[in-house]
Structure formats: structure tokens, C-alpha cells
Chain A
Amino acid sequence: MRLTYSLILFGFLFSFGICAQNKQVLYDFNEIPQSLSLNPGMETDFKWYVGVPLLSGISGYAGSNGISVHDIFVDDGVDINVKVRERALGGLTPNDEFSATIQLEYFNAGFRASNPAIFYSFGGYFEIDNSTYWPQDYAALIFDGNADQLNRKFDLGDLKSRGSMVNVMHFGINKKMDRNLTVGIRGKLYSGIVDYNTTSNKGYLVNSLGENNRIATTLDADLMLRTSGIQALDEASDSGSSTNAFVKRAFFGGDLGLGFDVGFTYHLSERTSITGSILDVGFIYHGNDAKSYSLNGRATVEGIEINVLEDFGNLERDFWQDLVDEVEVLVPFETDTKSYVTFRPTKLYGSIRNDFGQSVGGGNGQLECDCTAGSTGGGELRTKYRNSIGAQVYAINRPRGPQVALSGFYTRRIGNILALKAIYTVDKFSYTNIGLGMNLQAGPINLYVMADNLLSYQNIAASNYASFQFGLNIISWGSTK
């Protein structure tokens, strides 16, 4: 029953919306091939690997920094209307965010080139992401209305939301430049399935004292909603061909885009290294089934106004319809099918790591077996240590400015079989986010499982944030010579 509740709550959180996920546990976890997707310049030692299709990388995340499911739905005897009023309407601000990401890797593989310093990787994944900010003044208009609030400007710019579903195909090159420096770059081809965004809205709605009548209502609006793919999928759904339409849009029949990731690893000393990467520097051109809706203009109305002397010869006209028409001319609602471009939410990772303790694998720490946790790839072997400690930073470009997370981590390697990573993260969603990751290497079979904000599992409904990642790969290191 408790598990059922947990699953329902995960589902509820995901329904809120999405942004790109901070995979702080996976980052710099060199034993896991999918870590390459977070830093194409990661040190690798695989000869080749193949992800188990559809199981190699599954991740999800949902967060809302200002409110939790528990805040509203806990069975505490308090009237839900009081809770909504106090905790949502009274507690949230337009900077509070509801976001989530789901990523499903359907294929991922990599192999070392004849030049052992070079490692290629490629694959594809689906990503659904969405980010919505609390539309405070819209909520105020919906729950309270505008009565008895003369001169209060309801900010129409409070509506900021974006989301997309894309298929991403990628190809990366990772090269060990010398003993200390490894760099990498990954090209990405985006095939947009669905996109919507309404992030640059401006304007207000206000009631003020009228010049002639009691109240003047002014609407000053510059609102825009851009969509792509929604109409095509909707029509396909009506005709029973939604699967075909989805597959077509996912594989180059929809919107297309390009992007890249770059990253590096640099050893400051034998035991200390820094890493960094920039991901998803790219765009999608939405030229297939794009549809935009806009409301742009300014109008002030004081109801039907009749000056009998001035209108004496024209009193039979329809004053109400004339008023409606006048507003529609001043603030037209328009639709068009113009193409548009969206930029991918660019992410930045960085870390500093210090290794310590005994070397892994015995002897001088150089890895001599076919299955190992280490970063000796391609060339000169580097000693691997049982323990690592370090710090990470993550930032993502969001509609209301960058969102940053800071982490401190500890990694423990137990032989060549097991690696564990514990990480503490501070961000806008949580100050008590402790995550755990485990990489298990059973011969060529590689399994990893990660989750964070573990303290919230005591009462997941009260959590502002939850995420998970897991995957299954087959890895070969070949001979280490």
C-alpha cells in the first residue's frame, strides 16, 4: 500500500512538468558508460560497451521547490481550501518552479578506435522535459478574481512554461590527449516530437477608477504560446494512427535540430583532477506543424458608453457588439503557422576530485584484469584508488535565469566489482538532498542504480524533489596489456 502511494505520488509529481535533470550521482562516475553523456571528456577504460536496449539508461526526476504533494493532500483534517490558500496562493511566488524530466535511452554503445587514445560512443534516447513556474497572478485571478482590487496590476508575465518531447541521436569522440588531459565532444541530432513554450509573456490587467463610468478595466497584453507537433498528434489520434505519427516525428519527420556537448578531465596531480562539461548547446527548428497563438494589444473599457446627445442619430446600433468588436480589434487574438526556433536548456557540470587510500586491484594499483573499475583507458595506466572525495557544481539555463546546484561526494570502490557514491546536494529544491549510487560489475554485466533525496523517502509526499536512474550494460575492457 505504501509502495502504491509512492508510485501515485511519483506519477503526480511527473504530471506537473519538466526540466533537465541534475544527474549529480552519475556525473564523474567513471565506471559507468552513461557518465560519458554528462562529460564527453570523461576518462574511459572500456574497450567497448553496449547498453541493453531500452534498459541501458532510464532516469526520471520531478521537483517543485515551493510546495509538495503533502502540503496540499495530507489527510490532516484541515480544509483543502485553507491549505491551498495558505500554502499555494499565499506561499508560492512566480519564481517557484514545477519541473521534471524523463529520459529513456533506447540504444547506447561505444568502442575504442585502433588508436587506443580515442574512444567513440553513440546512441539515442527519448527525453520528455517540462518546466512551469507558478503563475501567481493568474492563480489570484482564478481563485479570487479582480473585485475590490482597484489599481492592482495582475502581471500577465507570470505565465512561464515550456516543455518538449525529443528524440536525440548522438555521436561522441573521447580522446586522451596526454597522461593528464582527456577531452571529448559529442554531436547531437534532435528530432522534435512535441514542443510548447510560453515564456516571454508581458502585460497586465488592472481595474482603476473610470473617467466616465465607475471602473475602467485595462488589458495590456503581449502573450504568445508556440506549439509544434500537438496538432499533428491530435489529428493522428483521431484517425487511429498516433503510433505512426509519433514514430514519424521521432525519426526526422518532425522538427529537426543540432547541438553538441563538450567536456574535459584534467589531472592537477596524481591524485587530484578537475572535470567540466557543457551539454546541449543546440537548437531545434520547429518548422513542421508549428502553430502559435498570440494576444497582443491594449484596451481600456468602461462598459457600454452612450452619450445621448452625441449618439442621438445612431441609438439603434448594437452598443454591446460594438464594444466587443472594438476590444477584439485593439487586442486581437491571432494564430499563425510560422516556424520558430527553440534553444535547448544548456547545462554545465564541473567537479574537483581527490583520490586517496589504497590502490584498487592490488600491487601498484594498475589494473590488470578484464573487468575493473578504473580510468586507464587507451594508453598509459593510471593508478586507481579506493576512495575519492570531491565537489561538483551544476547549472542549467532556465526561463527565469540559471539554476545552480552544489554537491559534495564520496566514492568508495570495493575491488573491481563494486563502486558506491554518496553525494550531498544543495539547490533550490532541497537543502537535505543525500543521494546514493551503486555500480555493480559482474563479469561483463554492468548494472547501476541511483537515487537521491533519500531522506525524503521517509515521507515521499512531503518531498520537493525526487529522482532516479538505472541502467544495464555489457562492457568489455579487453586486455590491459
Chain B
Amino acid sequence: MKVVRILIPVLFGLMLGVSCSEKQDFEQLDDLEITPSYEASVFYIKAQESLINRISGLRFFSQDFNFDAFEEAFFANRVRSGVLTYELENTTSKPIEISLEFLDENEEVLDTEEFIMDAAPTATLIRDVAYGAAGKSLDFIRNTSKIRLIARNLGDNSSTSNLPDPAIILRSSAKFTLELK
């Protein structure tokens, strides 16, 4: 009985003492990379042909738009690469030139993207613009505070397209990879 009295606590102690583990390396956490990619639409602009016809001169539209999304600290500090995708559709009867200027807080032009579209009927123009290591500088994106859209009518001010609801439409989306860790 005495043996049992001694043996059991010893066994328990031993069990706890010899509980072991294969070698673990918690420093691996330093190597963990969390780099998700997020995608969303950026802006959509539609200018009808009836409006274009009413404005004389080459430049029928020029407007600055505030755009703080890329400047947000969470995004700007973590973005590592990305792609802006533009989709330009022209169903008007005139060739159109679109110029997108990315401006910083001082309204300095950081980057410009230009598109020229033939008069309808013409195929939709899709353009991917990469930023980061494989493309333009990410600083253009990080420092963008405004976007200036300039549209020029390279045709006349009287013709009308036969297509329904003729207009020039610029669609865009962004896909960016962030480094969260």
C-alpha cells in the first residue's frame, strides 16, 4: 500500500514532467505573409451625344473630381501592386479623345492616361494599367487626391448616331494587392 501511495503521485509528476513536444518554431510567424487582393469599381462617367453636340469647341468636358480613396492611410501604407482597368465605350457618331489626369494635393499632374476612340460603330476599348514592380510607380496612386477628366470631340457638333442612347462611357475598376503582414 505504501508503494502505491508513493507511486501514483510520482507517476503523475512524471507524466507532467515528461510531457513533450516535437520542436516548434514560433519565429516562423515572422515569415507569414498576408497579401490579399481587393477589387472594386472606381468611377463611371457617361456623357451623352446630345450634350456633346450642344457644346462648341474641341474640349466639351473638363472637370476635376476629388478622389481620396487611394490616399487613405490604410491603403496607401500597405498597397504593393495593382491594376486599374478601363473600359471605354463610344456609341456616338464622332471620334472622342479622353484624358485622365491624376493630381496630387497641390494639383500637380502625377500621371496621365489617354484614350482615343473612333466614331461608332467601334469595339469597346479595354485597357489594363499596372502599378508596382511590373508597371508604373505606385506613388502615382498613393498620392492621387484628384482626378481630372478632359474629353475632346474630334468630330462635328451636328451628327447623331443611329445607336440607342448614344454616349461616351468610361468605366473603371481597381484591383490592388495589399501587404497586411
Contacts and interface: CB of A to CB of B under 8 A. Distances in A.
Nearest to A5: B21
Contacts of A189: none
Interface string A178-222: 000000000000000000000000000001001011111100000
A143 B42 contact: no
B73 interface: no
A134 B39 CA distance: 24
A145 interface: yes
Given A214-B172, A308-B45, A414-B4, A440 B51 contact: no
A138 to B, nearest CB: 11
A214 B41 contact: yes
B110 interface: no
A81 B32 contact: yes
B38 A147 contact: yes
A451 B19 CA distance: 12
Given A79-B31, A320-B65, A457 B15 contact: yes
Contacts of B178: 145
B8 A81 contact: no
A312 B32 CA distance: 50
Contacts, number: 180
B21 A306 contact: no
A268 interface: no
Contacts of B23: 74-75
B43 A305 contact: yes
Contacts of B133: none
B22 A217 contact: no
Given A214-B85, A305-B44, A145 B173 contact: no
Contacts of B21: 2, 5-6, 9, 70, 459-462
Contacts of A148: 37, 39, 175
B67 interface: yes
Contacts of A72: 28
A70 B34 contact: no
A394 B23 CA distance: 34
B28 to A, nearest CB: 4
Contact of A306 (B33, B39, B45): B45
A304 B67 contact: yes
Given A9-B21, A148-B37, A309 B48 contact: yes
Given A438-B8, A440-B9, A213 B41 contact: yes
B4 to A, nearest CB: 6
Interface string B1-23: 10011001100100111111111
Interface in A346-375: none
Nearest to A308: B47
B80 interface: no
Interface in A300-333: 301-309, 312, 315, 318-321
Given A80-B28, A308-B47, A320-B67, 14 more contacts: A70-B22, A75-B23, A80-B29, A81-B32, A142-B36, A144-B37, A145-B39, A148-B175, A212-B44, A304-B67, A309-B51, A319-B43, A417-B5, A460-B21
Contacts of B134: none
B1 A414 contact: yes
A210 B69 CA distance: 19
Contacts of B25: 73-75
Interface in A130-144: 141-144
A315 B64 CA distance: 9
Interface of A: 2-3, 5-6, 8-9, 69-70, 72-75, 79-81, 84, 141-148, 207, 210, 212-217, 301-309, 312, 315, 318-321, 414-415, 417-418, 420, 436, 438, 440, 449, 451, 454, 457-462
A364 to B, nearest CB: 21
B108 to A, nearest CB: 19
B5 A418 contact: yes
14 contacts: A72-B28, A75-B24, A81-B32, A142-B180, A144-B37, A147-B175, A215-B40, A216-B41, A306-B46, A309-B48, A457-B19, A460-B21, A461-B24, A462-B22
Contact of A215 (B18, B34, B173): B173
Contacts of A436: 12
Contact of B28 (A73, A142, A315, A457): A73
Contact of A440 (B8, B34, B69): B8
B147 to A, nearest CB: 9
- Of B21, B42, B65, B175, the most chain A CB neighbours within 10 A belong to B21
A414 B85 CA distance: 79
Contacts of B67: 304, 320
Nearest to B34: A143
Contacts of A147: 36-39, 175
Which of A6, A214, A319, A462 has most chain B Cβ within 10 Å? A214
List the 4 closest pairs (A to B, CB-CB), nearest first: A145-B36, A303-B41, A147-B37, A147-B39
A151 to B, nearest CB: 13
A440 to B, nearest CB: 7
B114 interface: no
A121 B12 CA distance: 29
A394 to B, nearest CB: 23
B68 A320 contact: yes
B126 to A, nearest CB: 10
A308 B61 contact: yes
B158 to A, nearest CB: 18
Contacts of B177: 145
A466 to B, nearest CB: 9
A303 B63 contact: no
Nearest to A83: B28
Nearest to A76: B22
B50 interface: yes
B44 A217 contact: no
A217 B44 CA distance: 14
Nearest to B37: A147
Nearest to B68: A320
